């Protein structure tokens, strides 16, 4: 897996061995960044269920001001830190280890606010809806912020999330990507 565009284009990223994480394919990541490319420069990006950190690092590579990575797997956190170090982006990044579906308070207490959020929960775990509910209750999304959810076709994204509206949905093979806008 590599960074697709920007100043770190071609940089190889480490990933966890085995099937404990399912990194977003380069094709899907490139499609997402083509859709939201105008929103990336100077954005504060939140990468939830971050896995390897590929989404947040891709955003940094393309001009985002800051990326914050959150995952609940300690081994994943170690990989994210390794990838941040390989890109020499320690100054513009932060990493947190917590259960995203129940607690994001540490981000709010750190005074962090976001323009773009990417969620890539495990497929078939039905974690996307819970994470979106948790996220919508934090108050750390700026008005007009974009929330991008990668999910399996069997997992529906709730349409009644407080303060968010679904604005687009794309299908890439067995992967769906739903785009929400914060009102």
Q: Domain locations in the chain? A: 26-182
What is the structure's pLDDT at 126? Answer: 77
What is the structure's pLDDT at 23? Answer: 66
- List the pLDDT tens digit at each of the 183 positions of the chain: 899 999 999 999 999 876 656 667 778 889 999 999 999 999 999 999 999 999 999 999 999 999 999 999 999 999 999 999 999 999 999 999 988 877 787 787 778 899 999 999 887 777 888 888 888 878 889 999 999 999 888 888 888 888 899 999 999 888 899 999 998
The pair phi, psi for residue 47, each rounded to 5°, is -110, 100
Rounded to an integer, what distance in angstroms lies between the CA atom of residue 110 and that of residue 87? 24
Which two three-digit tokens encode residue 126?
Answer: 């039905």
Rounded to an integer, what distance in angstroms lies between the CA atom of residue 140 and that of residue 145? 10
Note if the pTM is more than 0.85: yes
Whether domain 26-182 has CATH 3.40.50.150: the reply is yes
The pair phi, psi for residue 119, each rounded to 5°, is -115, 130
DSSP string, 1-23: -B--SSTTTT-B----STTS--P
What is the structure's pLDDT at 18? Answer: 65
The distance from CA 138 to its chain's CA centroid, rounded to whole angstroms, is: 16
């Amino acid at each position: 897996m590599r960074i697709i565009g920007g100043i770190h284009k071609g940089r190889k990223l480490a990933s966890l061995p085995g099937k404990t994480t399912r990194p977003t394919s380069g094709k899907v990541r490139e499609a997402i960044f083509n859709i939201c490319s105008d929103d990336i420069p100077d954005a504060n990006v939140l990468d939830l269920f971050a896995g390897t950190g590929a989404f947040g690092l891709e955003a940094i590579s393309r001009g985002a001001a800051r990326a914050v990575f959150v995952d609940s797997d300690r081994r994943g956190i170690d990989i994210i830190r390794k990838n941040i170090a390989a890109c020499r982006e320690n100054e513009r990044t932060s990493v947190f280890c917590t259960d995203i579906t129940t607690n994001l308070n540490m981000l709010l207490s750190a005074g962090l606010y976001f323009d773009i959020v990417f969620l890539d929960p495990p497929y078939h775990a039905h974690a996307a809806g819970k994470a979106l509910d948790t996220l919508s209750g934090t108050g750390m999304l700026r008005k007009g912020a974009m929330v991008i959810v990668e999910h399996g076709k069997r997992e529906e994204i709730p349409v009644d999330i407080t303060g968010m509206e679904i604005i687009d949905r794309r299908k890439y093979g067995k992967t769906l990507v739903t785009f929400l806008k914060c009102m």
